[in-house]
């Protein structure tokens, strides 16, 4: 198990036991926070509960039928013991926690946890790191890999975020209805970033957790076109998962076997995307879902409605004018019949995306179609320098070789 906590104990247990306890992690942390009113203490108690469970599994005990309930009960007992011992020593200000039901556990606790992690008092970088830590259960090295940054910086960011939450007495709650519109965008953004990071690094836990959170958010605000758009985007992206790799090699969208796509996820995602776009307002997540939907309904890469994609990217650029959107729009425009590839290449070269590994990948694609294969191979080399992901590196090495580099 990529240990949720700071400890190093790693009993040898079966993958199914690990998966059961990993899946329960955010519910356990969130429920324990209600008792401890302290994120650090709740995390430590949840981690100790997981370690006890793993030791039980390593000695042949059966996995509890309800792993989340077993872990929550164990973590809260550990917390009570610590609180009794340390009540006079604790110096941290407590979180403001609303009263819970008789068992101390609420079904909305994971949402309370993610809204706390994504409080506007924290920077976006801290919001993402804290969500990966407390909600996804990733340890510091794994978070550093997801965020493509140093471990020491991640550890400092998480520690300072927890300290700020405690010192500012940020409530552990889902915001009241009047505050939700102002708070929702930050949560949607962080959940999307968690999903994108996990997807890019082929890390299943952030992807799975982001999908669960997207579903919870739609349940919380069912009339939000942006919440439905995010869920649609996540589902349509995940529908392509079975075709994304072949023998551990990366297969990009143009070369994917579309018969391997998960059609149930495609249908659900398309229904959500259609509703989000029709009922509006058309925000960035609804429009990104529209882009994913256009790819999902195309029988093949060649038969994609590129002109409609450019129109959708134009709308997206108006509400979310970022260089990455401009990059994707340029690549869609390059596929429209009669497009001037020289103009597209100039657009790409004008983008301010220093260090972004997918820019040289895009340049390589356009350069190859212009017949400039040596330059395309060089662009693949630049992309190689910008990524440490082993799956992507294998793909880029192969592409560079195919181009004669």
Residues 6+ apart with CB under 8 A from 66: none
Nearest to 146 by CA among 167, 125, 161, 165: 125
The predicted-structure confidence for 104-122, as pLDDT tens digits, reads as follows 445 557 788 889 889 988 9
Q: Which of 289, 316, 339 finishes a domain? A: 339
* Co-location of 322 and 382 in the same domain: no
Final residue before a domain boundary, out of 339, 370, 395: 339
Here the CATH number for the domain that contains residue 39 is 1.10.1740
| Domain-embedded: residue 374 | yes
Within a domain: residue 392? Answer: yes
| C-alpha angle 104-107-113 in degrees, rounded to nearest 5 | 85
Half-sphere exposure of 8 (CA within 13 A, CB side): 0
Domain match, 12 and 61 both: yes
Q: Which of 313, 339, 365 is the last residue of a domain?
A: 339
Please report whether residue 385 resides in a domain.
yes
Q: What does the pLDDT read at residue 6?
A: 43
- Whether residue 331 is found in the same domain as residue 363: no
Amino acid 224: pLDDT: 94
Residue 319 inside a domain? The answer is yes
Q: Summarize the confidence of residues 303-329 as an average pLDDT.
A: 97
User: Do residues 70 and 40 share a domain?
Assistant: yes
172: helix, strand or coil: strand
How many domains are contained in the chain? Answer: 3
What own/partner pairs with CB < 8 Å and gap ≥ 24 does 318-326 have? 319/282, 319/283, 319/284, 319/287, 320/284, 320/287, 323/351, 323/352, 323/353, 323/356, 324/353, 324/356, 326/351
Is residue 249 scored above 90 in pLDDT? no
Q: What is the pLDDT of residues 206-243, one digit of tens each?
A: 888 889 899 999 998 999 999 999 999 999 999 998 89
Mean pLDDT value of segment 335-362: 95
- How far is residue 349's CA from residue 219's CA, in Å, rounded to a whole number? 42
pLDDT band at 87 (very low <50, low <70, confident <90, very high): low
Residues 4 and 74 in one domain: yes
For the chain, give the mean pLDDT: 85
Let me know whether 1 and 55 are in one domain. yes
Please report whether residue 80 resides in a domain: yes
Residues 383 and 328 in one domain: no
Q: What pLDDT shows up at residue 100? A: 52
pTM of the model: 0.80
Question: Read out DSSP for 103-143?
Answer: TS--TTHHHHHHHHHT-TTS-HHHHHHHHHHHTS---HHHH
pLDDT at 66: 80
Query: Quick check: helix, strand or coil at residue 59?
Result: coil
Indicate if 1 and 70 belong to the same structural domain: yes
Residue 360 in any domain: the answer is yes
Residue 140 included in any domain? no
Structural domain range at position 402: 354-405
Residue 10 has pLDDT above 60, yes or no: no
* Contact of 138 with 198, CB cutoff 8 Å: no
Question: Residue 397 falls within a domain, yes or no?
Answer: yes
Return the percentage of the chain with pLDDT > 70, whole number.
86
- Asked whether residue 312 falls in the same domain as residue 374, the answer is no
């Amino acid at each position: 198990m990529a240990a949720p906590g700071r400890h190093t104990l790693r009993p040898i247990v079966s993958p199914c036991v690990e998966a059961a306890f990993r899946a329960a992690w955010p519910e356990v942390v969130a429920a324990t926070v209600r008792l401890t009113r302290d994120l650090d203490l709740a995390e430590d108690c949840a981690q100790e509960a997981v370690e006890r469970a793993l030791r039980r599994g390593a000695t042949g005990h059966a996995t509890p039928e309800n792993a989340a309930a077993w872990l929550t009960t164990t973590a809260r007992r550990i917390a009570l013991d610590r609180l009794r011992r340390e009540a006079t020593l604790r110096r941290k200000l407590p979180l403001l926690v609303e009263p819970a039901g008789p068992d101390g556990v609420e079904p909305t606790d994971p949402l309370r946890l993610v809204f706390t992690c994504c409080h506007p008092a924290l920077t976006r970088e801290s919001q993402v790191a804290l969500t990966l830590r407390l909600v996804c259960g990733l340890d510091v090295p794994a978070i550093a890999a997801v965020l493509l940054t140093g471990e020491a910086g991640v550890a400092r960011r998480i520690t300072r975020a927890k300290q700020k939450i405690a010192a500012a007495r940020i409530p552990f709650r889902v915001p009241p209805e009047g505050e939700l519109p102002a708070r929702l965008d930050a949560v949607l953004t962080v959940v999307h970033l968690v999903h994108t990071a996990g997807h890019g690094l082929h890390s299943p836990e952030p992807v799975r957790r982001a999908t669960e959170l997207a579903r919870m958010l739609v349940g919380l605000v069912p009339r939000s076109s942006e919440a439905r758009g995010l869920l649609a985007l996540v589902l349509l992206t995940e529908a392509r998962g079975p075709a994304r790799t072949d023998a551990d090699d990366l297969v990009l969208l143009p070369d994917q076997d579309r018969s391997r796509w998960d059609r149930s996820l495609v249908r659900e995602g398309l229904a959500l995307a259609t509703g989000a776009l029709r009922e509006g307002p058309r925000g960035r997540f609804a429009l990104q879902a529209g882009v994913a939907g256009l790819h999902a309904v195309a029988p093949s890469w060649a038969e994609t409605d590129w002109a409609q994609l450019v129109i959708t990217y134009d709308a997206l650029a108006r509400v979310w004018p970022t260089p990455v959107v401009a990059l994707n729009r340029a690549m869609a425009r390059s596929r429209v019949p009669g497009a001037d590839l020289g103009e597209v290449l100039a657009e790409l070269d004008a983008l301010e995306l220093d260090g972004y590994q997918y820019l040289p990948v895009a340049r390589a694609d356009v350069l190859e179609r212009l017949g400039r294969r040596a330059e395309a191979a060089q662009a693949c080399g630049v992309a190689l320098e910008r990524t440490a992901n082993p799956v992507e590196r294998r793909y880029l090495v192969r592409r560079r070789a195919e181009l004669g580099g």
